[in-house]
Structure 1
Amino acid sequence: DHPILVWSFFFGLVLASTWFVSKDIRKWDWKTVLSYIVGIAVAFYITVATPAETPSNLFFIFLCGAIAICAMILPGISGSFILVLLGKYFYIMEAVKTFNIPVMLVFICGAAIGITSFSRVLSFALRRFHDITISVLAGFMLGSLNKVWPWKETIETYTDSHGIVKPLVEANIMPNELVWEAVGLMILGYAIVYFLEKLSMKTAK
């Protein structure tokens, strides 16, 4: 009911989180800068990509589960949004609604294998290539700000299972309403993350 205000709050949260994650980069050089830019570009592309028409065979459903769950442990990228881009969000939701056991089991297996495999890869990358990995993750977060920009214009809609029309494709526009309220909530979101980060640092000491 209040999308501009909610997105504004999240914008502040993500912006502050990006700053604190970036502070974990020990040394800035051409590798970390390039990794940061790549992370921004990939996340930005994901937020503006158009949902694709894709097959519905079980092998592809398995891949969708593996890819979507990996996105869930990366900052700035939504697993459900990845499913939308893969053209399988509504397909999976319909499978859950109709209790389509084969599709659900294949998707769950893909998610289980994806999360166990990718978490190991991410852990290895953080140990061996700490600064580059953090740079990419921070870039993901900064690039994702395009998705949580509060002011949007709906370009394409869809009707959910309850008959409610919802936005599917949106475009960002310049601030046109509730500007001061939105700015205030952005600051509040930033301040909450800042406070929690300082509190955790004090506790750690």
Structure 2
Amino acid sequence: MAFLLDVIKGIFMGIANVIPGVSGGTMAVSLGIYDKFISSITGFFKNWRKSCKILLPIVIGIGIGIIGFTYAIEYLLSQHTFVTCMTFVGLIFGGLPMLYTDMRAKMTETKSKIGVGNVIAFVGLFAVVVGLPMLGVGSETSSVLAGTPVNMLILFFVGVIAAATMVIPGVSGSLVLMILGYYYGIINTIKNFLEALKVMDLDALLNGFLVLVPFGIGVLIGIAGIAKIIEYLFNKHSVMTYSAIFGLVLGSPIAIFYNTGLYKHLNEVSIIKLFLGLILCIIGGVMTYYLGKKEA
């Protein structure tokens, strides 16, 4: 049962990483698996058996979420933008009670109080996650990326940057990919690779392999590198780190609404969509809260 629950949580993380503006790290925090996910990565070589046991269901779920939602993301965000965004707002906010409980426990353990530094961390990181989408996006391409040596090198570093931001709660790795101008290229390459796999188109498979492998290696290196930093912050500056995460989490819905362009069309949302969006927001929140309590 625990294995299946972690697979489900991994699926939510994978889906979150596909949506620009939604943070896979935030989803992991909301679902109550962030700490063990990070510690399993940083302690992999010290206790690889335990780390594999923890990471395997989560990674399986992430893979299912990314592959499955790659096909759905464009349709949902273009045809059902408000309802989709509200669902993820609920999924994100549903983890706030558990996050608050963890923070209070750390404050009691370390005999800390909310000070000026915590407020600065909260406001600063809130501003980062809200301001990031407003930086604008790079020149995007809707075509499949070519597996040239130059692209392979670039995609390795893009993978490092994107993965580092995927692990940080509140920061959307897919949004960073969009800002760098590689979001749709990666999404379309994944879709093209899966389609080529169905018909065994060897040329398309080779091109996809040459694009996705260096990107994937960069992702793994980026996750491992940032995980060490995150673990240090939780161990040495836990309350301030929680304060910063609160800022990131609370700023995420604003980033989602801005990045999808939904804020421009809120007055056009019908009563039916408004009602459905609120219902799905509540359902998403309850689901995340329940999964988080299961983990606790």
Report the TM-score when normalising by structure 2.
0.53
Q: Which amino acid aligns with 1:190?
A: G
For residues 65 and 118 of structure 1, the distance between their equivalents in structure 2, rounded to whole angstroms, comes to 13
Give the drift of 1:60.
3.7
Aligned with 1:141 (options 238, 249, 268): 249
Q: Which amino acid aligns with 1:194?
A: Y
Establish whether residue 8 from structure 1 lines up as the match of residue 103 from structure 2: no
Give the drift of 1:120.
1.0
Are the counterparts in 1 of residues 82 and 262 from structure 2 also a CA contact under 8 Å? no
Are the counterparts in 1 of residues 164 and 225 from structure 2 also a CA contact under 8 Å? no
Q: Which amino acid aligns with 1:140?
A: L
For residues 184 and 109 of structure 1, the distance between their equivalents in structure 2, rounded to whole angstroms, comes to 40
Are the counterparts in 1 of residues 98 and 293 from structure 2 also a CA contact under 8 Å? no
Aligned with 1:84 (options 144, 157, 178): 178
For residues 165 and 225 of structure 2, the distance between their equivalents in structure 1, rounded to whole angstroms, comes to 13
| Structure with the bigger percentage of helix | 2
Are the counterparts in 1 of residues 164 and 226 from structure 2 also a CA contact under 8 Å? yes
CA RMSD of aligned residues (A): 2.8
Establish whether residue 63 from structure 1 lines up as the match of residue 171 from structure 2: no
Q: For 1:24, what is the secondary structure of its paired residue?
A: helix
Establish whether residue 170 from structure 1 lines up as the match of residue 271 from structure 2: no
Give the drift of 1:131.
1.2
Q: Which amino acid aligns with 1:144?
A: S
Cα distance change, pair 140–181 in 1 and its aligned pair in 2 (3 A): same
Q: Which amino acid aligns with 2:84?
A: V
* Residue matched to 2:219: 111
For residues 112 and 195 of structure 1, the distance between their equivalents in structure 2, rounded to whole angstroms, comes to 30
For residues 138 and 106 of structure 1, the distance between their equivalents in structure 2, rounded to whole angstroms, comes to 33
Query: Between the two proteins, what is the percent identity of the paired residues?
Result: 24
Unaligned 5+ segments in structure 2 are 1-78, 108-112, 141-149, 193-203
For residues 194 and 92 of structure 1, the distance between their equivalents in structure 2, rounded to whole angstroms, comes to 32
Unaligned 5+ segments in structure 1 are 153-167
**Number of corresponding residues:** 183
Q: Which has the higher contact order (CA 8 A, sep 6+)?
A: 1
Establish whether residue 20 from structure 1 lines up as the match of residue 114 from structure 2: no
Cα distance change, pair 93–198 in 1 and its aligned pair in 2 (3 A): closer
For residues 95 and 148 of structure 1, the distance between their equivalents in structure 2, rounded to whole angstroms, comes to 24
Cα distance change, pair 65–199 in 1 and its aligned pair in 2 (3 A): closer
